[in-house]
C-alpha cells in the first residue's frame, strides 16, 4: 500500500509537463538537477537554526537591548486567587458580565476587583518587551543576510532582467550551488519558524502566520521538486526585501526611538506595497501563469504552484490592509504600533490615582521609588 501511494505521489504527470519523465532530470553531462532527497537536510538545519537563534538572542540581542535601553513597563500583578485562577485557566480569559458577577460571589471580591484581576492576569501572560526585542533582532538579522545573499544569487542571472529567461529550456535547467544553498537555508528557516511559532510572540494574525509558513514551505518544496528553481529564487528574494525593514522598525519601537521607528516604517510600507502588491502579482505571477503556456500545456503542477501563489498574495493583501491602517495613524500624528499586537490593558480605577501619587503597586502595596523618575 505504501509503495502504491508513493508511486501515485511521484506520478510524473503531477510534477512535470507532458512527454517528460524523472529520467530526463537525472544528473548527466555536467548538469545537476534538484532532487526531492536534497530537502531532507532542511529538518536538521531547522533545529540548528533554533540553537543558533537561542545563542543569538542570549549573547547578542540581550546585550543590544541593554545598549538601546529597552525598558520593561511596570506591570501590576494579580493577587493569588484560586477561584479566579481556575476560571482563567479552564474557562475564559475574558469573562462575560454574568460570569464576573458569579465569580464575585464565589471569590468574595467586588465586581470591580474581579474585572481588575482579569486585566492584570492577562497582562502577566503577555510577552515581555525584551522577548519581543530579541525575536525582532533575530528575524532582522536573518532577513537582512538572506536578502543580501538572495540578491547575490540572482543579480547576475539573465532571468533577473528578462523574466522569459526563467522558462528558457525548462525543465532541463541545471542547478547552481548558490541556488542549492539559498533554497536549503530559506526552507530551513521557515521550518524553524513553524517549529517555534507556539513559543513566539502571539499576535492577532496568529492563524494567518501559520497559513503563511505552511504555504511558504509547500511552495518552496514544490518549486524544488518541479525544478521551478529560477522562479523560486526570485520570489524568495522579493519577500526578503521588505521583511528586514519591518523587524528593524520593531526594534527601534521597543527601544523607544519613535521617530526612527516611524521613518523606517514608512520606507517598509512603500517597499512592501511595491514588491508584494505590484511586482509580485503583475511581474512574477504573470511570469508563472502566462509564460509557461508558451512552452507546454498546463498540468497539475502548474495549477498547484500558482494556486499557492494566490494564497500568499491573499495574505499580502490582508497585511497590506493592516499596514495602511498604521500608516494612517502615522499621517494623523498618532504613534505607529503593530496592529497585530495585543495592547497592554490598564486599570481604570481609584488605584491608578494611588499609583500616580505613591508610585507603582505590587500586589496592592506601594513600591519604593527613590529615583523619583516616571517609568515609561
3-state secondary structure (DSSP) of residue 151: helix
pLDDT digits (tens, 9 = 90+) for 160-218: 999 999 998 888 888 899 999 999 999 999 999 999 988 887 777 678 888 888 989 99
Same domain, 91 and 175: no
Residue 226: how many CA atoms within 13 Å on its side-chain side? 29
Cell numbers standing for residue 276: 508584494
Give the span between the Cα atoms of 342 and 238, in whole angstroms: 29
Same domain, 160 and 303: yes
Last residue of a domain, which of 125, 160, 190? 125
Residue 30: how many CA atoms within 13 Å on its side-chain side? 0
Q: Is residue 306 part of a domain?
A: yes
- Nearest partner of 303 among 213, 226, 217, 209, judged by Cα: 226
Give the structural domain span for 51.
28-68+128-332
Same domain, 61 and 187: yes
3-state secondary structure (DSSP) of residue 325: helix
Q: How far is CA 46 from CA 5, 255, 297, in A?
A: 27, 29, 37
- Nearest partner of 130 among 76, 61, 75, judged by Cα: 61
Q: Is residue 18 part of a domain?
A: no
Q: How does DSSP assign 199-249, residue by residue?
A: TSPP-TTHHHHHHHHHHHHHHHHHHHHTT-HHHHHHHHHHHHHHHHHHHHH
**Residue with the three cell numbers 528558457:** 168
Its pTM stands at 0.78
pLDDT at 241: 92
pLDDT at 61: 94
CATH number of the CATH domain containing 91: 1.10.10.60
Q: What DSSP state is assigned to residue 22?
A: G
CA dihedral sign, ordered 180, 155, 162, 302: positive
Q: Is residue 263 part of a domain?
A: yes
Tally the domains of the chain: 2
Give the span between the Cα atoms of 156 and 151, in whole angstroms: 9
Residues with pLDDT less than 50, the chain: 336, 342, 349-376
Same domain, 212 and 318: yes
Phi, psi torsion values for 13, nearest 5 degrees: -70, -15
- Nearest partner of 167 among 287, 57, 77, judged by Cα: 287
C-beta separation of 255 from 134 below 8 A? no
Same domain, 49 and 102: no
pLDDT digits (tens, 9 = 90+) for 249-282: 999 999 989 889 888 998 999 999 999 999 999 9
Same domain, 229 and 250: yes
- Give me the residues paired with residue 365 across strands: 362
Give the containing element (helix H, strand E) for 122: helix 111-125
Same domain, 107 and 164: no
Q: How far is CA 208 from CA 194, 203, 211, 318, in A?
A: 12, 10, 5, 9
C-beta separation of 143 from 243 below 8 A? yes
Same domain, 103 and 241: no
Give the span between the Cα atoms of 288 and 368, in whole angstroms: 64
Same domain, 135 and 159: yes
Phi, psi torsion values for 266, nearest 5 degrees: -65, -40
- Give me the residues paired with residue 362 across strands: 365
**Residue with the three cell numbers 547578542:** 60
Q: Is residue 201 part of a domain?
A: yes
Give the span between the Cα atoms of 141 and 147, in whole angstroms: 10
Give the span between the Cα atoms of 2 and 203, in whole angstroms: 40
Residues 6+ apart with CB under 8 A from 299: 13, 14, 16, 17, 18
Buried b (16+ CB within 10 A) or exposed e, 142-163: bbbebbebbeebbeebebbeeb
Amino acid at each position: 500500500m505504501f509503495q502504491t501511494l508513493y508511486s501515485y505521489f511521484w506520478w510524473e504527470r503531477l510534477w512535470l509537463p507532458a512527454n517528460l519523465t524523472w529520467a530526463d532530470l537525472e544528473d548527466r553531462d555536467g548538469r545537476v538537477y534538484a532532487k526531492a532527497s536534497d530537502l531532507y537536510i532542511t529538518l536538521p538545519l531547522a533545529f540548528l537554526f533554533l540553537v543558533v537563534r537561542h545563542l543569538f538572542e542570549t549573547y547578542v540581542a540581550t546585550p543590544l537591548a541593554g545598549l538601546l535601553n529597552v525598558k520593561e513597563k511596570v506591570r501590576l500583578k494579580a493577587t493569588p486567587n484560586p477561584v479566579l485562577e481556575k476560571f482563567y485557566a479552564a474557562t475564559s480569559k475574558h469573562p462575560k458580565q454574568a460570569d464576573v458577577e458569579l465569580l464575585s460571589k464565589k471569590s468574595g471580591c467586588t465586581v470591580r476587583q474581579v474585572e481588575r484581576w482579569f486585566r492584570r492576569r492577562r497582562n502577566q501572560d503577555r510577552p515581555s518587551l525584551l522577548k519581543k526585542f530579541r525575536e525582532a533582532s533575530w528575524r532582522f538579522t536573518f532577513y537582512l543576510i538572506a536578502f543580501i545573499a538572495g540578491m547575490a544569487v540572482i543579480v547576475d542571472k539573465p532571468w533577473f532582467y528578462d523574466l522569459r529567461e526563467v522558462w528558457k529550456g525548462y525543465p532541463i535547467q541545471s542547478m547552481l550551488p548558490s541556488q542549492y544553498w539559498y533554497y536549503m537555508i530559506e526552507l530551513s528557516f521557515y521550518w524553524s519558524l513553524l517549529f517555534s511559532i507556539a513559543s513566539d510572540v502571539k499576535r492577532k494574525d496568529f492563524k494567518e502566520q501559520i497559513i503563511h509558513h505552511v504555504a511558504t514551505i509547500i511552495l518552496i518544496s514544490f518549486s524544488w521538486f518541479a525544478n521551478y528553481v529560477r522562479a523560486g529564487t526570485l520570489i524568495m528574494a522579493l519577500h526578503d526585501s521588505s521583511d528586514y525593514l519591518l523587524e528593524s522598525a520593531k526594534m527601534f519601537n521597543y527601544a523607544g526611538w519613535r521617530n526612527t521607528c516611524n521613518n523606517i516604517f514608512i520606507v517598509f510600507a512603500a517597499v512592501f506595497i511595491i514588491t508584494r502588491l505590484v511586482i509580485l502579482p503583475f511581474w512574477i505571477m504573470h511570469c508563472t501563469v502566462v509564460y509557461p503556456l508558451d512552452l507546454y500545456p498546463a498540468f497539475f503542477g502548474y495549477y498547484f504552484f500558482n494556486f499557492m501563489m494566490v494564497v500568499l498574495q491573499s495574505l499580502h493583501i490582508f497585511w497590506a490592509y493592516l499596514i495602511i491602517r498604521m500608516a494612517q495613524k502615522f499621517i494623523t500624528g498618532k504613534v505607529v504600533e503593530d496592529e497585530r499586537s495585543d495592547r497592554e490593558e490598564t486599570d481604570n480605577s481609584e488605584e491608578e490615582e494611588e499609583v500616580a501619587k505613591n508610585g507603582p503597586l505590587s500586589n496592592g502595596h506601594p513600591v519604593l521609588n527613590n529615583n523619583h523618575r516616571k517609568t515609561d
